Amino acid sequence: MAAKLGGMQIYRSSLLRFADDGRALYDEDGLLAVAPDDKGQQRVVAAGSWQALQARFADLPGVQVTHLPERILAPGFIDMHIHYPQTDVIGAPAAGLLPWLENYTFPHESAFADRSHADAVAGFFLDELLRNGVTTALTFATSHPASVDALMQASQARGMRMITGKVLQDRHSPDGVRDDTEQSLIDTEALIRRWHGVDRLGYAITPRFAPTSTHAQLRGAGELAARYTDVWIQSHVAENLDEVRWVAELFPEARSYLSVYDDFGLMRERAVYAHCIHLDGEDRALLRERRTAAAVSPTSNLFLGSGFFDFAQADAAQFLYGLASDVGGGMSFSPFKTMQAAYVAGREGQTKQGLSLSPASLWWQHTAGAARALGLAGQVGNLQPGCEADFVVLNPACTPLLARKTRQASSLDELLFAMIILGDDRLIERTLVSQAK
């Protein structure tokens, strides 16, 4: 990584980052040095204590230091599962997942056949992510190919690292969102070729969930996943008990809901399945074996009454997972709301161990841990040397209660916990993305 001294920017502030083993590292008086690499991408050159790094980075002639007292620099958050076309679906009441899809989600998504609507929502969605400190997301578009173009173009204009894909749904879906089996696979391949690896953009092969794809469509998706090995895969699994029963009827040959995806070659590295609530031990072992990740979506699970992700069982099985908002099933774009809900859900897991998640591990699951689950460790989600410089400036005194609580914190755990439990978009003073244009 060739850091050009001329382009180097030095920040002096408190600094939060993560060690490779997931431990939180915190410098009360920290230094972050950022410089463009030879492609113009801003990357972290150095991160650590001001005292240790000042002589090498800040005392050089011509170097300007941006001093941000009483602020905390932290990695930009990563949302492992969100639907941009559901921005206007947040808060739509329904008895559960299946009526929610039928009565609210599909009608809203059908509007994305109109490119100008898709452009308008994509712009709002990305600005809302940034306002909430989210710099990378794995997001569903709709079944309309132009909905992918809209989000990719808007992300490119903002310099954001964004992964999305056209939804595949060729059955059990109403007119307006249902696609054609053969055309859907042709469109998916064309979109991969158009967008995957362009600037900071990535493509995800996106079967909505097993019930809305024919065997032929899932087979075609699996073939594309085998051909384009560094493309992501995203879908939903085992979110809701009615859904699980439906899948058992539709795929009687499969051992479990999750194994439907495995049977079609849709479990591998860079595959991400939202929810993963109603799993058994064999499913968890399969996730680990295939190096496939779960996107844990606690505000959505609470809103739709789906159940609770079992963190203890996930850790015991050692499969990859990270946090996600799942807007619009989810209730908020804010990573703080997601971490709050994960903490509560973690106390309610099926094993009922009464175990709660530590604040550092919650934060890691939404940053460096999520990056690892996406196959992007060392690129995003952290502020270690070499990482793309996506970061947030937090103001821990942004509300009277937060100011009071964070001032009293006597450990890093207490400081992080105060922000997780009391935080929202007001904590995010600024969001900087590595390739801002």
Find where tokens 């890691």 sit: 364
Q: Restricting to residues 122-161, which ones interact with Zn ion according to CB under 5 A?
A: none
Other beta carbons within 10 angstroms of residue 59's beta carbon come to 10
Contact segment (CB under 5 A) with Zn ion among 189-197, 207-215, 270-278, 428-436 equals 270-278
Partner from Zn ion, ligand GUN, none binding residue 122, C-beta < 5-8 Å depending on class:
none
* Rounded least distance, CB 227 to ligand GUN, Å: 25
Partner from ligand GUN, Zn ion, none binding residue 202, C-beta < 5-8 Å depending on class:
none
For ligand GUN, which is the closer residue by CB, 172 or 255? Answer: 172
Partner from ligand GUN, Zn ion, none binding residue 209, C-beta < 5-8 Å depending on class:
ligand GUN
Partner from ligand GUN, Zn ion, none binding residue 310, C-beta < 5-8 Å depending on class:
none
Binding site for ligand GUN (CB under 6 A): 83, 97, 101, 105, 208-209, 236, 239, 300, 326, 329
Partner from ligand GUN, Zn ion, none binding residue 431, C-beta < 5-8 Å depending on class:
none
Q: Restricting to residues 170-229, which ones interact with Zn ion according to CB under 5 A?
A: none
For ligand GUN, which is the closer residue by CB, 79 or 239? Answer: 239
* Rounded least distance, CB 125 to Zn ion, Å: 14
For ligand GUN, which is the closer residue by CB, 292 or 306? Answer: 306
Interface with Zn ion, residue 427, by CB under 5 A? no
* Rounded least distance, CB 236 to Zn ion, Å: 5
For ligand GUN, which is the closer residue by CB, 43 or 236? Answer: 236
* SS (HEC) of the chain: CCCCHHHCEEEEEEEEEECCCCCEEEEEEEEEEEEECCCCCEEEEEEEEHHHHHHHHCCCCCCCEEEEEEEEEEECEEEEEEEHHHCCCCCCCCCCHHHHHHHHHHHHHHHHHCHHHHHHHHHHHHHHHHHCCEEEEEEECCCCHHHHHHHHHHHHHHCCEEEEECEECCCCCCCCCCCCHHHHHHHHHHHHHHHCCCCCEEEEEEECCHHHCCHHHHHHHHHHHHHCCCCEEEEEECCCHHHHHHHHHHCCCCCCHHHHHHHCCCCCCCEEEEECCCCCHHHHHHHHHHCCEEEECHHHHHHCCCCCCCHHHHHHHCCEEEECCCCCCCCCCCHHHHHHHHHHHHHCCCCCCCCCCCHHHHHHHCCHHHHHHCCCCCCCCCCCCCCECCEEEECCCCCHHHHHHHHHCCCHHHHHHHHHHHCCHHHEEEEECCCCC
Task: Figure out which of the listed residues 262, 326, 390, 424 binds Zn ion, where binding follows CB under 5 A.
Answer: 326
Question: Closest-CB residue for ligand GUN?
Answer: 329
For Zn ion, which is the closer residue by CB, 8 or 138? Answer: 138
Partner from ligand GUN, Zn ion, none binding residue 97, C-beta < 5-8 Å depending on class:
ligand GUN
Partner from Zn ion, ligand GUN, none binding residue 367, C-beta < 5-8 Å depending on class:
none
* Rounded least distance, CB 132 to Zn ion, Å: 18
Instruction: For residue 100, give the amino acid letter.
Output: W
Task: Figure out which of the listed residues 78, 204, 237, 274 binds Zn ion, where binding follows CB under 5 A.
Answer: 274
For ligand GUN, which is the closer residue by CB, 81 or 270? Answer: 81
State the residues that interact with Zn ion by CB under 5 A: 274, 326
